[in-house]
């Protein structure tokens, strides 16, 4: 019998490489307002805690900038129309999700990306392999608060004792701890192995297939 019956995944940097599309959308918004653009490496360091925080880190003077709200709105509009231009599933992810679905694991995505984008990307890239998708929305506290993870477990009919969380960043490790779940950190995402180790991540994997050794132990 498998050790876990439910797996909750982060999205950006864990299942999908969204970095190039996020960078293009940020730079589109910054350009509109005459601000300096950001590099791929800078955006990689900025992501992980929702799009409002992403823009606040990218725009000069952050949230105190008078153009912040409009820049965020411009980002959202552009990204909603261009979120699938360069985005792709990481190597091995589709095979992993197909295996999980075929062996009756319950799966969910919990992300700080806005909810409509999470649902659109999940449907486009993963279809029926993912049963529950939850993104940032009004009335639900985003990660690292445990609220969205708890909501996902409720919708899956899963218990904390048999659920594991998979992510790639500081926010993900904190989210898992706050939800009382073991955390698997992935090295192919937006943070390096050293960062994950420093956070006390329960497990660290280098390829998607390595997750099976953990959940089926």
Residues acting as catalytic residues: 10
Q: How far is Cα 33 from Cα 9, in angstroms, rounded to an integer?
A: 35
Phi, psi of 179 (to 5 degrees): -90, -5
Please give the sequence-ordered ranges of beta strands (E in DSSP) within the chain, or none if there are none. 6-9, 16-17, 88-89, 106-114, 132-136, 163-167, 183-186, 203-205
Contact assessment for residue 147 and residue 117, using Cβ atoms and an 8 Å cutoff = no
Structure tokens that stand for 112 in this block: 């700080």
Structure tokens that stand for 70 in this block: 């409009």
Q: How far out from the chain centre does Cα 52 lie? A: 15
- How many CA atoms are closer than 13 Å to the CA of 63, on its beta-carbon side? 4
Q: How far is Cα 21 from Cα 35, in angstroms, rounded to an integer?
A: 18
Q: Would the CA dihedral through 58, 64, 66, 71 be positive or negative? A: positive
């Amino acid at each position: 019998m498998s050790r876990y019956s439910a797996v909750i995944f982060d999205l950006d940097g864990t299942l999908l490489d969204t970095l190039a599309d996020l960078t293009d959308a940020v730079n589109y918004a910054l350009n509109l307002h005459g601000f300096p653009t950001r590099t791929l490496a800078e955006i990689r360091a900025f992501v992980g805690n929702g799009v409002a925080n992403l823009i606040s880190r990218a725009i000069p003077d952050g949230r105190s900038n008078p153009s912040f709200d409009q820049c965020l709105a411009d980002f959202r509009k552009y990204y909603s129309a261009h979120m699938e231009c360069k985005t792709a599933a990481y190597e091995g992810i589709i095979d992993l999700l197909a295996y999980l679905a075929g062996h009756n694991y319950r799966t969910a995505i919990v992300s700080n990306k806005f909810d409509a984008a999470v649902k659109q990307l999940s449907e486009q890239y993963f279809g029926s392999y993912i049963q529950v998708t939850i993104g940032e929305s009004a009335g639900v506290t985003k990660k690292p608060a445990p609220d969205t993870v708890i909501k996902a477990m409720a919708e899956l009919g899963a218990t904390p004792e048999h659920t594991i969380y998979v992510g790639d960043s500081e926010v993900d490790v904190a989210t898992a701890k706050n939800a009382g779940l073991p955390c698997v950190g992935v090295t192919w995402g937006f943070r390096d192995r050293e960062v994950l180790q420093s956070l006390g991540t329960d497990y660290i994997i280098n390829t998607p297939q390595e997750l099976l050794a953990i959940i089926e132990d």
